[in-house]
Amino acid sequence: MTKAEEVVFYAKLLDEKGLVNSLEGNISVLDRTEGKLYITPSGKRKSLLTPDMIAVMRGDEQVGGNCRRSSEYLLHRAALDARPDCSAAVHVHAPHLTAYAFCSRSIRLRCSTTFGLLFEDIPCLPYGQPGTPAIADGIEEAIAHRDLLLLANHGCIAVGATLEEAVALIEAGEEVMKIYALARAAGEVSDIPPADWERMCEEHPGSVRNRHRKA
């Protein structure tokens, strides 16, 4: 599968799951050897994308693809510049995650082992105007030890070594927040005891703490 075909595959997967729409959301994969960023085009319905529509960027210059690159390529580039261990970025407006972004609230749950191991917490960056470098203000520090961030009044972004990893993080984060909303409606949410939470985050080899320590 080529890089462009990979972007198309995951863009359509996100569309099927209702995590992007025709006007919002974009994904990219970076070929670090060639210095080329493959990113979804601006304003195109994800379900109708074809590989030749995927924009190819080298720096600020579009060198491939028959559609104009997403206006958020600066966000993708900033995230991937900050994480040399990653080659894929996914920016979406997943409803349950984005609800917190609209409130400019970081997410700090202690009721879910999945959330704890994958994220521990999800910081929210201050508002920055979409399509400008300001949308990535503060991303370098925040994304150094977290793989999923909220963007205030906008959406969220995840990075991964592959598009599969980045997309899976978005899916998992959105699902946890969906269940959390149901739990709050059902009654008082019960947190994991602090000592057990800390032990899990410190000792589990797959925890976000230990993943980043290895990196």
CATH number for 14: 3.40.225.10
Q: For residue 92, report the phi and psi dihedrals to the nearest 5 degrees.
A: -135, 175
Mean pLDDT of 51-55: 98
Burial of 129 (0-12, 13-18, 19+ CB in 10 A): exposed
Determine if residue 12 is left, alpha or beta; phi over 0 gives left, psi from -120 to 50 gives alpha, anything else beta: alpha
Joined tokens for residue 74: 């600066």
78: in domain: yes
129: in domain: yes
- Is the model's pLDDT at 138 over the cut of 80? yes
Please state the domain count of the chain: 1
215: in domain: no
What pLDDT, on a 0 to 100 scale, did the predictor assign at position 6? 98
What pLDDT, on a 0 to 100 scale, did the predictor assign at position 213? 83
* Whole-number average pLDDT of the chain: 96
Q: What is the pLDDT of residues 108-133, one digit of tens each?
A: 999 999 999 999 999 999 999 988 88
- Is the model's pLDDT at 214 over the cut of 80? no
What pLDDT, on a 0 to 100 scale, did the predictor assign at position 98? 98
123: in domain: yes
Q: What is the pLDDT of residues 180-208, one digit of tens each?
A: 999 999 999 999 999 999 999 999 999 99
Q: Which domain covers residue 103, as residue numbers?
A: 3-210
52: in domain: yes
What pLDDT, on a 0 to 100 scale, did the predictor assign at position 215? 64
132: in domain: yes
Burial of 214 (0-12, 13-18, 19+ CB in 10 A): exposed
Neighbours of 10 (CB within 10 A): 22
Q: What is the pLDDT of residues 80-93, one digit of tens each?
A: 999 999 999 999 99
In angstroms, how far is CA 188 from the centroid of its own chain? 29
193: in domain: yes
Mean pLDDT of 149-162: 97
166: in domain: yes
